[in-house]
């Protein structure tokens, strides 16, 4: 799976949009971009994933550049409960055995009141 690069930390004011960048310049054509987050003392939580097109769900939007070398996770109206470490990963859909997740160091998002 391709390597990703994320800033170690970001702050965002409550109620504002949080835009979390991720670089994945070595991404392959069949690799998806996934975002998970981990709130302190909890297990990781899936947020969203995409291949080429921008995606939106009830939690967030995912914007993938046309060359797919970077993406941005957008939390449209950040709340204090969105304070967490956000992980961007890229992974290929494989047939066969384990499809385990591998997280890097992620971005610590702190939403400020």
Partner 1 sequence: GAGVSQSPSNKVTEKGKDVELRCDPISGHTALYWYRQSLGQGLEFLIYFQGNSAPDKSGLPSDRFSAERTGGSVSTLTIQRTQQEDSAVYLCASSYSGRANNEQFFGPGTRLTVL
**Which residues of this protein are in contact with partner 1, per CB under 8 A?**
32, 42-46, 49, 87, 91-94, 97-106
Shortest reach from residue 38's CB to partner 1, in Å: 9
- Measure CA 91 to chain center: 12
Which lies closer to partner 1 via its Cβ, residue 98 or residue 113?
98
The Cα 11–Cα 49 span in angstroms is 23
Name every residue whose Cβ is closer than 8 Å to that of residue 100 and which is 6 or more positions away in sequence. none
Q: How far is the CB of 28 from partner 1 (least distance, A)?
A: 13
Residue closer to partner 1 (CB basis): 42 or 67: 42
Distance between CA atoms of residues 75 and 39, nearest Å: 15
Nearer to partner 1, 66 or 97 (CB): 97
């Amino acid at each position: 799976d391709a390597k990703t690069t994320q800033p170690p930390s970001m702050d965002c004011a409550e109620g504002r949009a949080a835009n979390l960048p991720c670089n994945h310049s070595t991404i392959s054509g069949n690799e998806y971009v996934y975002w998970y987050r981990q709130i302190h003392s909890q297990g990781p939580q899936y947020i969203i994933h995409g291949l080429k097109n921008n995606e939106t769900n009830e939690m967030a939007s995912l914007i993938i550049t046309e060359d797919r070398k970077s993406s941005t996770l957008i939390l449209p109206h950040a709340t204090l409960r969105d304070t967490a470490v956000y992980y961007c990963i890229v992974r290929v859909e494989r047939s066969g055995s384990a499809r385990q997740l591998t997280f890097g160091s992620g971005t610590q998002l702190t939403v400020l009141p």
